[in-house]
């Protein structure tokens, strides 16, 4: 098997560069107790506080999206294997609409 170390390194560097180009600055306040937790975790895992907070926020947002409840509405939107699938009247469709609207505003700017 040929030595792929340089190819793997180049791929990793390119992925990191792409990720960094998508970063945006955020400025927000947290409690002093949460700041101590962030500082402790950053020191424990040998990473910057900014990188840790970004990772924590990303994970929290993914989990919130996963746990957003489906609420069955009265309208059948399709039939799968003979069973009706009802529209979602929970928060997810509104959340997705807002997220898409904000994404479009950013793309147009």
Q: What is the pTM of this model?
A: 0.74
Q: How many CA atoms lie within 13 A of 96 on its CB side?
A: 10
Q: Where are the domains of the chain?
A: 28-67, 70-109
Torsion of CA 76, 77, 83, 88, to 10 degrees: -80
Residue 18's pLDDT is what? 83
Which pair of tokens denotes residue 24? 């945006």
Q: What is the pLDDT of residue 6?
A: 86
Share of the chain above pLDDT 70, in %: 97
Phi-psi region of 41 (alpha: psi -120 to 50; beta: other; left: phi over 0): alpha
């Amino acid at each position: 098997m040929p030595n792929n170390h340089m190819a793997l390194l180049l791929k990793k560097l390119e992925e990191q560069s792409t990720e960094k180009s998508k970063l945006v600055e955020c400025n927000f306040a947290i409690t002093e107790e949460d700041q101590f937790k962030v500082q402790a975790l950053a020191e424990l895992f040998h990473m910057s506080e900014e990188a840790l907070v970004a990772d924590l926020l990303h994970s929290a947002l993914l989990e919130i999206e996963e746990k957003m409840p489906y609420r069955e509405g009265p309208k059948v939107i399709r039939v799968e294997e003979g069973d009706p699938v009802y529209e979602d009247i929970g928060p997810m469709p509104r959340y997705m609409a807002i997220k898409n609207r904000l994404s479009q505003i950013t793309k147009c700017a």
